[in-house]
Each structure stands twice: as C-alpha cells, then as structure tokens.
A and B are shown apart, each in its own frame.
Chain A
Amino acid sequence: MNWDALATYGPRMLQGLVVTLQLVVISITLGALLSIPVALARMSRSRILRAISFGYMYFFRGTPLLAQVFLVYYGAGQFRTQLEAIGLWWLFRDAFFCCVLTFTLNTGAYQAEILRGAIRAVPAGQREAAMSLGLRPRQIFRKIVMPQAILIALRPLGNEVILMVKGSSVAAIVTVFDLMGVTRLAYSRTFDFQVYLWAAVLYLVVVEIIRRVWDKLEHRLTRHMRSA
C-alpha cells in the first residue's frame, strides 16, 4: 500500500465518487421522467410521434456514449452565439451539465425501451377488465397498467442504473472530476498503478450495494405476488 498517495488522493477520490453518484442519480431520474412520454409516443397511433421517438431511441441506443458526450460538449461550442442568444450557454459551457444532459438523453432512450417492453407485457385482460369496469383510459393507464409495468421493468431498470454508474466514467474524458477523473489525475501525478485498483474497488462496492438494495426493493414491491 502506498499510504502517502492514499492520504493525498483518498479523500479526493471519495469526493469524485460523490460526483459520480450525482451524475448517476440526476441522469437516471431525469431519464425516467423523459422515458415515459417517449415510450408512449413510441406506442402512439400517430405515425409522426412513432417516427420521432423511434429515431431518438435508435440514435441514442446505437451510438457510443462517449461519442454522444463529444457531440454535445464539443459540438455545443460551435453554436455559442445561438446558445448565448437563448440564454443556455452557461449550461453547455459546463462539462458536468453537458454530461448530465447527454446521460439523461442516453438513459432516457434505454429506459423508454424497457418501459415499452414492460407496458406491452401487461396482459391485455387487465386492460379489458378495467374497461368493463368503466374506468377511463387515463385511469386505466395510471392505476392498472403502469403499476404492473413498473414491476416488470424493475429488474432491467436496476441493470440500467448499474450500466449508468459504469458509463458515467466517460465524463472523466471531458474534464469532469468524477471518480474516474480523480483517479486519472492521481495516476498522472503519482504514476502509482494502485490508484486504479482503489477506484476498481470503489466502483465494485457501489455496484454491489445497488444490486443488493435493488434486490431488496424488488422483493418488497413484489411481496403480493408470492404465494405463501
């Protein structure tokens, strides 16, 4: 163990971990909000809405996250005057916000696909029963279809959270000091390979905690579906 390096960079790596978690929590939450209208548009009767949501999902699921980050972060610089005119330049100037924006769009596309699959997996009989009870379409969606769809989506959503934790490391390449960013900084100063191993342990711990918590959550939310 290199205790000097640990004393210097250990606390900063923990700060980096906090930045990583901020990136993940904000992006996953905003992405979840985004995914609902996108999934609905994907299943809508309007051909235009379907085409737009399909194009959005295909693009963000088919291209590398790193390329998307570059496109937003460096690409925005080219539209500086326009962005300043509409007062959004402060957002695109900051690497952290650019990453949040890109990650949100990226995970929104993945979550929409998960949600779409889950909504379609809810048996049609549920919808028919609700209709025969005289519920309105909106009520059916909110009280019958969505709660069941979310239970089906729970496992893939947990995987998506873990993928986001791992994917968020690309923020380091556009100068965000998340866990990966601090680790690269520490390595460039100390040339001690250990720092990468510490980062690996931290990432593994985070992923394992999420997995455990998610299992507990799933166990609790599906308790009515288990026979005694």
Chain B
Amino acid sequence: MDLLRLLSFGPDGWGDELLQGTWLTIRLALATVPFGLALGFLVALAKRSPNRYLRAFGNAYTTVFRGLPELLTIFIVYFGGQIALQRIVGLFSGATVEVNGFIAGMVALGVVFSAYASEVFLGAFNNITRGQYEAAYALGLRPATTLRLVIIPQLVRLALPGLANLWLILLKDTSLVSVIALDDLLRKTGLAVRVTKEPFLFFGVACLIYLALSMISSIGIVAIERWANRGLRRAS
C-alpha cells in the first residue's frame, strides 16, 4: 500500500513527476524524428550523388555517427555546441551562452538517427527499379518532379520497416539525455529514487513505462504500414 502511495499523483506521490518525465521523453523523440529524417534523406542523396566529394562526405558521416557511442555524441554536441556558440557570440558581444539541453539532445539524437536512416533510405533507393525512372523520363517529368511524385511515394513504403525500427531504438536512446541534465523520464525517476530510497520500484516502473511506449509505438507502426501499403496489390 505504501508503494502505491509513492506512485500516486499529488504532493507526496511521484506519479505526476514520472508523467512529466515521460511527456518530455515523448516530445524529445517526436521532435528528433523530422530533423533526423530530413538529414538522413540528404545524406542518402549525398551518398548517391555523382559528385565524388559528396559521396565521400556521406560515407564518412555514416561511418562516424554509427561508430560513436550515442552517449559520446551527446556529450560532444552538448559541450562542443556550447564552445562553438560561445565563439560565435563572442565575436559580437561578451555575453555567455547556455546551450539548451533539449536542443542539444535533439541534435545529437537526430544526427545518430540520420546516420542510420540514410542507410535505410539507400537500401530503399536501391530497391526501386530503373524502369521507374525511365518511365517517368518517357512521360517527360523533370528530375525533381520524378523524385516527388514517383520515387518518394515508393521510397516511403520501402523504408518504413527500417525507419520503424529506428524509432524504437530512438525511444530508448532518449534515456541517455538524462546525463545532460534534461528532465526526461529516467532523470525524474532518479530524483524520485534519491528522495524515497526505493530504487528497485522506481527504476522498475520506468522500465515498464518505456515498454509501454514501445508497445504503443508498435500499434501505431502497424497502422502506418497498412496505410503506406494501401496502393500495393497483394499477390494471393
């Protein structure tokens, strides 16, 4: 009964704090996705580019950000971003800048996400046959129009399973931002533990919340995949 009281909402329960943390975790993950997807798509385009330097850049980017521990990437973006911003601001004034933890976390997680997403996009690109481009060309579509109307709709469908996987990984990786003083679920849980001295209960509950988030995501993913496959005729 005592344990239930600890998890209750209100002044002496930690339920509302955990919920706030969960909300930040969700917001961070949701904010990272558009940024990571856009960046990943650009990197994938760079890796397919006829330009040698762009290709080399795209490959190096992928190798580096898939090889670095996510935790290290977060530290590098957080502290490195602080130093870089300070230098830029220092050119104009003597003010000190403080990097926003949410933005730093979003950028760091987004960069990692984009490195993996670019590989997913690349795989999806390779699965689109040349006939699609040739047919679009024969219809007189411009390259940009071809990409927008012919290639991307198919790309979405092909890339979706891989991207869904990355989303589930991202959801778990958000826990790492707790080390840069961002009040996500895990950090709020840590605060609760420090006060209540009930680590097993609270970290257990945090794990269950993460599990619930990924379960809900799986349901959403199934729905999105059904939507993306709507134009696909099933061979029965």
- Give the complex CA separation of A75 and B193 in angstroms: 10
- B150 to chain A: which residues have CB within 8 Å? none
| B72 contacts A by Cβ under 8 Å | yes
| A62 contacts B by Cβ under 8 Å | yes
| A199 contacts B by Cβ under 8 Å | yes
| B57 contacts A by Cβ under 8 Å | no
Q: Would A67 and B207 be within 8 Å (CB), given that A196-B72, A203-B69, A207-B67 are in contact? A: yes
B199 touches A199 (CB 8 A): no
Smallest CB–CB gap between B65 and chain A, Å?
Answer: 10
Give the residue among A66, A165, A167, A172 with the most B Cβ atoms within 10 A.
A66
Chain A: interface residue total (CB-CB under 8 A): 38
Q: Would A58 and B211 be within 8 Å (CB), given that A172-B71, A200-B72 are in contact? A: yes
Within 8 A of B (CB), among A53-93: 58-59, 62-68, 70-71, 74-75, 77-79
| A148 contacts B by Cβ under 8 Å | no
In-complex Cβ contact of B210 among A64, A75, A167 (8 A): A64
Within 8 A of A (CB), among B48-90: 63-64, 67-72, 75-76, 79-80, 83
Q: Would A208 and B69 be within 8 Å (CB), given that A63-B211, A66-B178, A70-B199 are in contact? A: no
- A130 to chain B: which residues have CB within 8 Å? none
- B67 to chain A: which residues have CB within 8 Å? 162, 166, 203-204, 207-208
| A101 contacts B by Cβ under 8 Å | no
B172 touches A63 (CB 8 A): yes
- Give the complex CA separation of A58 and B211 in angstroms: 8
B72 touches A70 (CB 8 A): no
| A173 contacts B by Cβ under 8 Å | yes
Give the residue among B71, B76, B79, B83 with the most A Cβ atoms within 10 A.
B71
| B203 contacts A by Cβ under 8 Å | yes
- Give the complex CA separation of A222 and B79 in angstroms: 45
| A97 contacts B by Cβ under 8 Å | no
B175 touches A67 (CB 8 A): yes
- A200 to chain B: which residues have CB within 8 Å? 64, 68, 72, 76
Binary A-proximity of B182-219 (CB < 8 A = 1, otherwise 0): 00001001100100011110011011001100110000
| B179 contacts A by Cβ under 8 Å | yes
Q: Would A173 and B179 be within 8 Å (CB), given that A63-B210, A200-B76 are in contact? A: yes
- Give the complex CA separation of A69 and B229 in angstroms: 39
- Give the complex CA separation of A62 and B168 in angstroms: 8
Q: Which residue of A lies closest to B214 (CB)?
A: A62
Q: Which residue of A lies closest to B171 (CB)?
A: A64
Band of interface residues on B: 35 or more
- Give the complex CA separation of A165 and B207 in angstroms: 22
Smallest CB–CB gap between A204 and chain B, Å?
Answer: 5
- Give the complex CA separation of A197 and B68 in angstroms: 10
- B7 to chain A: which residues have CB within 8 Å? none
Smallest CB–CB gap between A3 and chain B, Å?
Answer: 20
A66 touches B211 (CB 8 A): no
| B176 contacts A by Cβ under 8 Å | yes
Q: Would A71 and B71 be within 8 Å (CB), given that A63-B211, A173-B179, A196-B79 are in contact? A: no
B64 touches A204 (CB 8 A): yes
- B225 to chain A: which residues have CB within 8 Å? none
Within 8 A of B (CB), among A149-182: 162, 165-170, 172-173, 180
In-complex Cβ contact of B200 among A75, A162, A167, A180 (8 A): A75
B79 touches A67 (CB 8 A): no
Leading 5 A-B pairs by shortest Cβ distance: A74-B199, A75-B200, A64-B175, A169-B69, A166-B69
| A interface with B by C-beta (< 8 Å) | 58-59, 62-68, 70-71, 74-75, 77-79, 162, 165-170, 172-173, 180, 183-184, 187, 193, 196-197, 199-200, 203-204, 207-208
Known: A70-B203, A79-B200. 20 other contacts (CB 8 A): A59-B211, A62-B172, A63-B172, A63-B207, A67-B189, A67-B207, A68-B207, A70-B199, A75-B204, A78-B199, A162-B67, A166-B67, A166-B69, A167-B69, A193-B79, A196-B79, A200-B72, A203-B67, A204-B67, A208-B63
| B interface with A by C-beta (< 8 Å) | 63-64, 67-72, 75-76, 79-80, 83, 168, 172-176, 178-179, 186, 189-190, 193, 197-200, 203-204, 206-207, 210-211, 214-215
